[in-house]
Amino acid sequence: MIIDLHCDTILRLWEDGGSLLSNGFHVDLERLVSSGYLAECFAIFTPEENSRGLTRFETMRSLHDLFVTEMDRCKDIVTVCRDASEIESGRLNVILTIEGMAATEGLDDRIEEVFSWHPAIMSLTWNEVNVYASPQSTDEATMRSGLTRKGFELVERAAEKGIAIDVSHLSDKGFQDLMSIDAKVLATHSNCRAVASSTRNLTDEMLRALAEKGGVAGLNLCIPFLHDFSLDDPARCSRVDDMVLHLRHMIDVGGEDLPALGTDFDGIGGRLEIDGAGDMPILIERLEKEFGTAVTEKITFKNALRFLS
Ligand SMILES: [Zn+2]
């Protein structure tokens, strides 16, 4: 079974049209079912600009509307879950997550509206500075800036609703800020900085801190987060070998209850050995060989399920 903590399929459908049931993107419901997914987390990621003349918050709302419409259309196949207690085995379960709250601009009514959608997971930032926090960056000053007062307030309000906070895309200082308070924290789609140097990845210290808090880190299949290829390297590819290295490192540093999956499907490009939800059984077969069945099950769904419970 599989629980994937992150995909950007809703935005792909919003931008390019098509059906969630069956499409040519990385994720559709037919392939989630055939690959044995227990649950997929669908993120609402709101781009700053769009071709429809909408404000950013109108875009965010429109993405959520599309999520609701598509799930309703497919309700014979999927169950939309507000939290893990609603996840049913033998069904395809869907969980709503929010990637970046920039569009709410710190405004109470917008924040309440997003809460009313019942996301299970929320991140404060994507790769931009906003009213809540600063993102991961190669700029050291940005990396040293953490949560704002509004950011701390948002985390507190989210906690009251039982929403977990996602540190993927957050600055290193933002990560430390979250570790210093009582919050349920995970990284939905981030790898190990000791294995691939991208600032989107987590340091060993962060992996240990997440593990100590009972968090999980979702393996991201994006090429630069897996391996330090140069852009013109003909071997540049999202490889299963690298995925194994990251998972092994997560286990070595944070223990076998830390790693999970956060593919980033439909948000990533280039050459992918695991090219969409239909290929996930190939990854699982390899993980079984590398880690054995018990640990593979923790990576592919049990750790995520435990965290969401
Ligand atoms: Zn992302």
- Angle at which helix 108-116 crosses helix 149-160, to 10 degrees, equals 30
pLDDT band at 132 (very low <50, low <70, confident <90, very high): very high
Predicted local distance difference test score (pLDDT) of residue 51: 83
Question: How far apart are the CA of 126 and the centre of ligand 1, in A?
Answer: 7
Predicted local distance difference test score (pLDDT) of residue 82: 85
Of the ranges 66-75, 84-93, 275-284, which one carries the lowest mean pLDDT score? 84-93
Q: How far is CA 39 from the centre of its chain?
A: 13
Computed over every residue of the chain, the mean pLDDT equals 97
Is residue 50 scored above 90 in pLDDT?
A: no
Q: What is the mean pLDDT of residues 149-155?
A: 98
Question: How far apart are the CA of 218 and the centre of ligand 1, in A?
Answer: 11
CA 43, CA 41: separation in Å to the nearest integer? Answer: 6
Question: How far apart are the CA of 124 and the centre of ligand 1, in A?
Answer: 12
Question: How far apart are the CA of 112 and the centre of ligand 1, in A?
Answer: 23
201-225 pLDDT tens trace: 999 999 999 999 999 999 999 999 9
Question: How far apart are the CA of 290 and the centre of ligand 1, in A?
Answer: 27
Question: How far apart are the CA of 265 and the centre of ligand 1, in A?
Answer: 10
Predicted local distance difference test score (pLDDT) of residue 85: 85
Q: What is the mean pLDDT of residues 148-165?
A: 97
Question: How far apart are the CA of 262 and the centre of ligand 1, in A?
Answer: 10
Question: How far apart are the CA of 98 and the centre of ligand 1, in A?
Answer: 10
Question: How far apart are the CA of 5 and the centre of ligand 1, in A?
Answer: 11
105-119 pLDDT tens trace: 999 999 999 999 999
Indicate the SS3 state at residue 32. Answer: helix
Question: How far apart are the CA of 25 and the centre of ligand 1, in A?
Answer: 17
5-31 pLDDT tens trace: 999 999 999 999 999 999 999 999 999
Question: How far apart are the CA of 72 and the centre of ligand 1, in A?
Answer: 25
Question: How far apart are the CA of 97 and the centre of ligand 1, in A?
Answer: 11
pLDDT band at 287 (very low <50, low <70, confident <90, very high): very high
Q: What percent of the chain has pLDDT over 70?
A: 100
Q: Which residues pair with 3 in a beta bridge?
A: 39
Predicted local distance difference test score (pLDDT) of residue 19: 95
Question: How far apart are the CA of 187 and the centre of ligand 1, in A?
Answer: 10
Domain segments of the chain as ranges: 2-308
Are 201 and 231 in contact, with CB atoms under 8 Å apart? no
Q: What is the mean pLDDT of residues 140-157?
A: 98
Q: What is the largest CA-CA distance in the chain?
A: 51
pLDDT band at 49 (very low <50, low <70, confident <90, very high): confident
Are 123 and 168 in contact, with CB atoms under 8 Å apart? yes
75-96 pLDDT tens trace: 999 999 987 789 999 999 999 9
CA 1, CA 242: separation in Å to the nearest integer? Answer: 22
Predicted local distance difference test score (pLDDT) of residue 196: 98
Indicate the SS3 state at residue 93. Answer: strand
Question: How far apart are the CA of 75 and the centre of ligand 1, in A?
Answer: 27
Question: How far apart are the CA of 273 and the centre of ligand 1, in A?
Answer: 20
Q: What is the mean pLDDT of residues 128-154?
A: 97
Q: What is the mean pLDDT of residues 127-131?
A: 97
The CATH architecture that domain 2-308 belongs to is: Alpha-Beta Barrel (3.20)
Closest CA to 7 of 26, 24, 22, 23: 26
Question: How far apart are the CA of 7 and the centre of ligand 1, in A?
Answer: 8
Question: How far apart are the CA of 48 and the centre of ligand 1, in A?
Answer: 14
Predicted local distance difference test score (pLDDT) of residue 32: 98
Q: What is the mean pLDDT of residues 223-238?
A: 96
Question: How far apart are the CA of 233 and the centre of ligand 1, in A?
Answer: 24
> Residue 118 has which token pair?
């019942």
